[in-house]
Amino acid sequence: MSRLIDTHFHLELDEQPTALAAEIDQRQVYTLAVSNAPSFYRIMRDRLGERRFVRLAVGLHPELVERYAHELDDLLGLMTEIRYVGEVGLDGSPPHRATLREQRRVFEQVVSRANDLGERVLSIHSRKAERDVLDVLGPAFSGTAILHWYSGPLSLVERALAVGAYFSINPAMCRSATGRALIAALPRTRVLTETDGPFVQVDSQPAKPWDVVEVTRALGKVWGTSDEGVRRQIHQNFGSVLKAGKT
Ligand code: MN
């Protein structure tokens, strides 16, 4: 069976990230571990060192902008050496609407930096701010945007696809009607898999990267293909993400 890929997992929020990273390596699940702030990224980098299956992304979570905006310069600096950026984006839901202006200032600088550097892969949060996220990315974004847990209107999907965005689908989305409608609306070539653990649960436990198997199985049902067929498609898609900008 082709290996599973989790493009959005919060390893730093696990109680024992080093042990979990070892298990991820042992289970051979390609895992993109996002960070909520550059200081968290630095701690994880020091603790984990080089891993075969775990890659660290540096980010600044939009819901935490108030607390970590002072780390923006560190993030922009780290982006020089790190290709994966996340979790970044905007959150316009009621608890975070008050910081939207500040969130936008941060996200605009991240996107502009990614444009300057090229080849950057962004895992993007867009809850209740999907249009704003696409506005900030603009039509000429030079990196690759992965819209993580997209829950916005289907009417914006075309616009997102036009800027080359991918959509990472998690187990919670597979269980909801809106998530399944999104899956049905997406071209297979733009779909990726994620868990967003520990925020998503599987069997009443915080999701671990290997739980993306729930997503590959759900995609198989919608697409009418085998689990292996889905895994191969996801591999191909992630391969395209990694190749983007490298030509
Ligand atoms: Mn997340």
Query: Residue 247: its pLDDT value, please?
Result: 52
- Ligand 1 centroid to Cα of residue 196, in Å, is 5
Report pLDDT digits (tens) over 57-97: 999 999 999 999 999 999 999 999 999 999 999 999 999 99
Q: What percent of the chain has pLDDT over 90?
A: 98
For range 157-166, the mean pLDDT: 97
Gyration radius from the chain CA atoms: 17
Report pLDDT digits (tens) over 96-155: 999 999 999 999 999 999 999 999 999 999 999 999 999 999 999 999 999 999 999 999
Q: What is the pTM (predicted TM-score) of this model?
A: 0.97
- Ligand 1 centroid to Cα of residue 61, in Å, is 8
- Ligand 1 centroid to Cα of residue 245, in Å, is 25
- Ligand 1 centroid to Cα of residue 125, in Å, is 7
- Ligand 1 centroid to Cα of residue 148, in Å, is 8
- Ligand 1 centroid to Cα of residue 87, in Å, is 6
Is residue 245 scored above 80 in pLDDT?
A: no
For range 41-67, the mean pLDDT: 97
Pairing mode, if any, of strands 205-206 and 201-202?
Answer: antiparallel
Strand order in the sheet with 84-89: 84-89, 121-125, 144-148, 166-169, 191-193
* 201, amino acid identity: Q
For range 166-174, the mean pLDDT: 98
Residue 244 sits at φ, ψ, to 5 deg, of: -55, 130
Q: What percent of the chain has pLDDT over 70?
A: 99
